[in-house]
């Protein structure tokens, strides 16, 4: 049976374009179209689609307001279409905050150089998100500036690991995103960790689909004065990362910025890799510094790439790294984690239940690189315990 899709956009031309692309896939069926958010809510209740594509700017009811209503009244995975402008980035991040799970640029040529590749990316995202229950039904409110202090966990709080008879995730089959592997793996899923006593010098986190909300959940728990530098790699367009870093900085106790070439790495700062480029760390001048470079997409599939950043960290911090892979499509970060793990670093992965797409976390779990899988609501407190 095909997955049902609802297309929402005030432009009839764009609705038709998206519908034609999606209907090329026999596993997808566009069952309805809406020209504003109010119509979308009515049709969702009537048609019960598996996934919705949603424009941000529409008359009567805009996409952000519609997503909020949808998540309250009839939760379903929503993909936003957005303009790649600074203002478009802010609106899209608001939509993700409201409960949307992913976004794509409205101009398909900005997804990929080749039109057919862009269409494939759209269909793949829709298929993956149609398979899951929307996380909004189990979402906790994101941290706001007024509630940061009250929610900050005490580093000295007692911790425990799950008992051996605790429920675990069901057996997972690796997807086609993992090079067609057929093996099965049952990850160890924990809610808390015991302090290992390991020495650390940095924290590194990689994410893709679903990452913006996941990163905010993790980073908002970390206390002011966090004693290590943090390196963040989120698959995101170049026009989005500055707005995303600003948003994170407003919602967190630690200091967060979009990384710039030449930044001297400092403890307590989180450096977000700029979209469309690669972020590495160099220590040739004595102090670790951020290096931002252009990247040929034919050589590296992601800009920024988790593997690229993690591999550079292995040369500076070696095994004194805690590497965490969050929700996302594909397997970016697996090879970087393999390098770090070989030097003695610890690797954690987000669990399947809280991942929007369990591709990247599954990749490091299947290859036995991740020590544990952890729910996104628990990762921040686990970091504090371990580091």
- For a pLDDT cut of 70, what percent of the chain falls above it? 83
Q: Six-digit token pair at 274?
A: 């700029």
Q: How does pLDDT run across 188-212, given as a tens digit for each residue? A: 999 999 999 999 999 999 999 999 9
Assign 174 a pLDDT band (cuts: 50, 70, 90): very low
Assign 296 a pLDDT band (cuts: 50, 70, 90): low
Assign 147 a pLDDT band (cuts: 50, 70, 90): very low
Q: How does pLDDT run across 30-39, given as a tens digit for each residue? A: 999 999 999 9
Among 235, 305, 314, 355, the one annotated catalytic: 235
- 387 or 142, higher pLDDT: 387
Assign 82 a pLDDT band (cuts: 50, 70, 90): confident
Among 208, 312, 354, 381, the one annotated catalytic: 208
Q: How does pLDDT run across 108-125, given as a tens digit for each residue? A: 766 666 778 889 989 999
- Helices 238-251 and 211-219 cross at an angle (nearest 10°) of 30
Would you state the pLDDT for residue 133?
A: 62
Please say if the pLDDT value at position 301 is more than 90.
no
Mean pLDDT for the stretch of residues 256-284 = 97
Are 253 and 157 part of one and the same domain? yes
Could you say which of 83, 115, 138 is where a domain stops? 138
Among 10, 25, 263, 332, the one annotated catalytic: 332
State which residues form the domain around 259.
147-386
Are 104 and 155 part of one and the same domain? no
Would you state the pLDDT for residue 300?
A: 61
Would you state the pLDDT for residue 105?
A: 87
Contacts of 47 (CB under 8 A, 6+ apart): 4, 6, 31, 32
Q: How does pLDDT run across 43-65, given as a tens digit for each residue? A: 999 999 999 999 999 999 999 99
Would you state the pLDDT for residue 111?
A: 66
- 310 or 286, higher pLDDT: 310
Q: How does pLDDT run across 334-343, given as a tens digit for each residue? A: 999 999 999 9
Q: How many CA atoms lie within 13 A of 356 on its CB side?
A: 31
Torsion of CA 16, 21, 22, 25, to 10 degrees: 140
Number of domains in the chain: 2
Are 45 and 73 part of one and the same domain? yes
Would you state the pLDDT for residue 341?
A: 98
Mean pLDDT for the stretch of residues 244-261 = 96
Rg, Å, the chain Cα set: 20
Would you state the pLDDT for residue 165?
A: 33
Mean pLDDT for the stretch of residues 172-194 = 60
Query: In the predicted model, what is the mean pLDDT of the chain?
Result: 86
Are 208 and 310 part of one and the same domain? yes
Active-site residue 208, yes or no? yes
Are 10 and 156 part of one and the same domain? no
Residue that the structure tokens 């870093």 belong to:
245
Please say if the pLDDT value at position 163 is more than 50.
no
Are 184 and 333 part of one and the same domain? yes
Are 214 and 300 part of one and the same domain? yes
The conformation of residue 177, written as its DSSP 8-state character, comes to G
Are 165 and 27 part of one and the same domain? no
Would you state the pLDDT for residue 17?
A: 94
Are 376 and 331 part of one and the same domain? yes
Please say if the pLDDT value at position 146 is more than 90.
no
Would you state the pLDDT for residue 184?
A: 57
- 161 or 8, higher pLDDT: 8
Alpha-carbon gap, residue 199 to 310, rounded angstroms: 18
Are 240 and 301 part of one and the same domain? yes
Are 151 and 239 part of one and the same domain? yes
| CA 286 centroid distance within chain | 33
Would you state the pLDDT for residue 258?
A: 98
Active-site residue 175, yes or no? no
Active-site residue 235, yes or no? yes
Q: How does pLDDT run across 350-373, given as a tens digit for each residue? A: 999 999 999 999 999 999 999 999
User: Are 84 and 34 within 8 A, CB to CB?
Assistant: no
The CATH number for 160's domain is: 3.40.50.180
**Does residue 88 sit in helix, strand or coil?**
helix
Would you state the pLDDT for residue 299?
A: 55
């Amino acid at each position: 049976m095909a997955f049902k899709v609802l297309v929402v956009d005030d432009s009839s031309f764009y609705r038709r374009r998206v519908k034609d692309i999606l209907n090329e896939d026999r596993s997808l069926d566009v069952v309805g179209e809406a020209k504003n958010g109010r119509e979308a809510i009515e049709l969702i209740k009537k048609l019960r689609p598996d996934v919705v594509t949603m424009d941000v700017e529409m008359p009567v009811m805009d996409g952000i307001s519609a997503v909020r209503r949808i998540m309250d009244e009839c939760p379903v995975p929503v993909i936003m279409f957005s303009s790649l402008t600074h203002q478009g980035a802010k609106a899209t991040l608001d939509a993700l905050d409201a409960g949307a799970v992913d976004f794509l640029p409205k101009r398909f040529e900005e997804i990929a150089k080749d039109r057919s590749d862009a269409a494939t990316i759209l269909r793949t995202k829709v298929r993956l998100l149609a398979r899951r229950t929307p996380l909004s039904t189990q979402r906790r409110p994101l941290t706001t500036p007024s509630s940061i202090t009250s929610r900050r966990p005490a580093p000295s709080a007692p911790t425990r690991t799950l008992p051996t008879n605790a429920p675990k995730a069901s057996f997972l089959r690796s997807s086609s995103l993992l090079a067609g592997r057929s093996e099965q793996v049952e990850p160890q899923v924990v809610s808390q960790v015991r302090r290992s006593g390991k020495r650390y010098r940095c924290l590194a986190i990689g994410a893709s689909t679903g990452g913006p909300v996941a990163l905010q959940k993790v980073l908002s728990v970390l206390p002011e004065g966090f004693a290590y530098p943090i390196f963040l790699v989120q698959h995101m367009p170049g026009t989005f990362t500055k707005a995303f870093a600003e948003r994170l900085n407003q919602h967190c106790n630690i200091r967060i910025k979009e990384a710039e070439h030449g930044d001297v790495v400092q403890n307590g700062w989180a450096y977000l890799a700029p979209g469309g480029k690669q972020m590495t760390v160099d220590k040739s001048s004595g102090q670790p510094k951020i290096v931002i470079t252009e990247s040929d997409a034919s050589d590296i599939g992601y800009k920024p790439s988790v593997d690229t950043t993690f591999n550079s960290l292995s040369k500076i911090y070696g095994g004194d790294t805690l590497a965490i892979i969050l929700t996302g499509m594909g397997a970016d970060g697996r090879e970087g984690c393999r390098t770090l793990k070989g030097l003695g670093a610890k690797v954690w992965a987000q669990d399947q239940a809280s991942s929007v797409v369990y591709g990247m976390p599954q990749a490091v779990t299947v290859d036995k690189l991740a020590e544990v899988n952890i729910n996104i609501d628990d990762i921040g407190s686990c970091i504090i315990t371990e580091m």
